[in-house]
Structure 1
Amino acid sequence: MEVLYLYLPVVLLAFYVITQHFLRKLRNLPPRPFPTLPLIGHLYLLKKPFHQALAKVSYRHGPVVFLWFGSHPVLLVASPSTAEECFTKNDIAFANRPTLISGKYFGYNYTSLAWSPYGDHWRNLRRISSLEVLSSHRLQMLSHIRLEEVRTLIGRLFQVSTETPERAVGMKLALFELTFNIMTRMIFGKIYYGENVENSEEAKRFQDLIMATSRSISESQVLDFLPFMRWFGFGGTEEKLRVIHENRD
């Protein structure tokens, strides 16, 4: 009996591997790295920097690779011609978005443009956005906002380089603030980043909400890909998302 218990995990693992192999053959799926681990799939292959890890997988297994990121199937496409085919000939098959937990709260139960599933509602939102936000007339009308914010950024970088030439400047943060200031000026008519914000208290609250949103999305992705982590202390993540969603509103 003790020997049976000793070999049981090995037998179960072998059965799992064989079953997965035959299922892949039946479904005619692209090649995938071996092994596909239970629960986590191919997440063990991901290391920083993320894009280089995916490039290594593609180099070893081909331009089209089927992966499991936990409970989510992922298609890795590293061929320009195949990517073009995905976005033209087979664009409908790839038009949907994964139903991540963050979309339930920040996307108003998957009804906003960024989170809505492909269909009539999404096409209507895209039409409104194209006409009211991204049309040539609208972009030209708001071009002065982009011009002013870019000039402000260049002036700030020039000032830093003049006063402290040895100081390194984090361009990632600078471009993040530039992007948000352009968006908020287009939407609200005011900026929330930089030294000369009109209402520093309101700006601070906005910045805190943006940071809290970013952190909560990162935390919720653990549950998106590894649902069993609810049993290991991640059960309160959805409550955090709900509170942040209310504060955003």
Structure 2
Amino acid sequence: MFSFSENCLLFYFSFVVLIILISYKWISTRFKTKKNLPPSPPKLPIIGNLHQLGLSPHRSLQALSQKHGPLMLMHLGNVPVLVASSPEAAKEIMKTHDLKFSNRPKLRIPDILVYGSNDITFSPYGEYWRQVKSIAIVHLLNNSRVQSFRQVREKEVALMIDLIEKTSGSSVDLSDLLFWLVNNVVCKAALGRTYRESNFAELLERFVQVLGAVSVGTYIPWLSWIDRLSGLETKAHKVAKDFDDFLEGVVAEHVNKRRGVDAERGEDQDLVDILLDVQRDNATGFTFHRDTVKALILDVFAAGTDTTFASLVWSISELLRHPRVMETLQQEVTKIAQGRLMILETDLDNMQYLKAVIKETLRLYPPIPLLIPRETTQDVKLMGYNIPSGTQTIVNAWVIGRDPIVWDEPNEFRPERFMNCSTDYKGLHFELLPFGGGRRGCPGISFAVIMFELALANVIYKFDLALPNGVKDKDLDMSEKVAITLHKKAPLLVMATPRF
């Protein structure tokens, strides 16, 4: 039992604590009002809003934005994170204030996976990033270089069509075939040959899964031990080593072939050859090392294979669910082909409905639903709110593509919305951002889209597709598997009947 003096002491202590809490709340409110920060969802001590990301963060953030608005300030651990969920907010970030939002935050897992973030995607804004992006645009992904791989793409598509024809009416795993199609094209373009005999599919899947995992230590440094205890860091280091061993072998193979000779420069060069030439000539005055070569090639691999393959699977899945759209597209490609064995790249510019189907797929299923985080380099006024320097910023491309204010029937697959419409996916129309925009937009759009167009046009031209085992169109499983890339969870199994 407490004495009177003890009760007084307890009362005094409780009163002091209450005053401190009230003062803290008042100061916090005054500070927030003074700073005029964007609205925020309630947060928990220590973890902030981390628990609200869920298994599908793009959907969780959509629900939160519907309550708190298109510009929302969250706290992942002790890191402030601005979430943009409207075209207007995205435009402010990627155009109006693009330079101020051009940095990348320091992220633990990408640092492990991609040579200390020395690639294009994750490197911080600055001279190094400008140089490596310039190398990519000028030497690797310019239009003439992309066109130089035309025969590679057409040959690999023809080989895939032949494999589908040999299924003889049995069910075929189109997801698997599309993965190897895209992978073979990327390998031949980047490395000079295919690597199907390797465990590349499994390695890439591990890479994407680890890259998309939430690292507790990134947001709460003193809890970094959780990433070690969960095995995330171990997995990241293992994937990084396995990929480095693979890429080191590739680069060494190219160096050995070139040793003692002056490598011919021509259209048959692969991307490793080009990078080694740029490194040797040092024409830009920018000196880079072996790890930079490997980091740039890893960017091409991860982005070029995983995202394009995922988009192809989503597109054909939606066509199966919408026979009318499939028929309209089939009529267009058949008319353009004029009885030839396959659609060629020179035919693609004339296929307006094909382009509309692809835009509609990218609207509903942007390959990376939450664009790679940016970070403010200085204080900025955004849509009337004050955003402090050092704020991480995420653009939810998935929710923007389904914004009912912008899109009529936003959840419906309706390619006609893009017919006679100038809206494009190249980062200038902020209602459609599958590849991002501004300085940090994807430099490989042309490489990805032409592969998408050619593969889709030929599969639809050559085959009538149906779901096996009596599955009805609308019953096709469209559930998602989310890492950093948005994938269809179940493999796409089809019955493919040759049309000719």
TM-score by length of 2: 0.40
Q: In the alignment, does 2:53 pair up with 1:24?
A: no
Counterpart code for 2:186: M
Distance 1:55 1:220 in 2: 18
Structure 1 runs not aligned, ≥5 long:
none
Kindly indicate whether the alpha-carbon contact (under 8 Å) linking 2:216 and 2:226 is maintained by their aligned counterparts in 1: no
What is the Cα-based RMSD across aligned positions, in Å? 3.4
Structure 1 residue 46 displacement after superposition: 2.3
1:21-170 to 2 correspondences below 5 Å: 21-33=29-41, 35-156=42-163, 162-164=169-171, 169=173
The answer for the alignment partner of 1:227 in structure 2 is: 221
C-alpha spacing 1:231/1:109, structure 2 compared with 1 (3 Å)? closer
CA distance 1:32–1:177, shift in 2 (3 Å): farther
Distance 1:77 1:175, change over 3 A: farther
Change (3 A) 1:66 1:151: farther
- C-alpha displacement of 1:237: 4.7
Indicate if the aligned counterparts of 1:184 and 1:191 stay in contact, CA closer than 8 A.
yes
CA deviation string 1:191-238 (max 9, x = no partner): 33xxxx3xx2xx12x344334433443556232234343344725654
Q: In structure 2, what residue type is equivalent to 1:113? A: I
Equivalent position of 1:190 in the other structure: 193
**Where does the alignment leave 5 or more consecutive residues of structure 2 unmatched?**
1-5, 245-500
- Superimposed CA distance per residue, residues 78-119 of structure 1 (whole angstroms, 9 cap, x where no aligned partner): 221221121111001211112111232333223222221111
Between Structure 1 and Structure 2, how many residues are aligned?
232
Aligned mates of 2:61, 2:154 — CA distance in 1: 36
Contact 2:215 2:227 in 1 (8 A): no
Alignment partner of 1:181 out of 180, 184, 188: 184
Deviation at 1:32, TM superposition (A): 0.8
CA contact (8 A) 1:107 1:114 kept: no
Instruction: Quote how far apart the aligned CAs of 1:62 are.
Output: 1.1
Deviations 1:124-164 (A, max 9, x none): 11111001111110011012233333444455556558212
1:18 Cα deviation (Å)?
5.6
Query: Could you tell me the percent identity over the aligned residues?
Result: 28
Q: Which has the higher helix share?
A: 1
Match of 1:248 among 238, 243, 257: 243
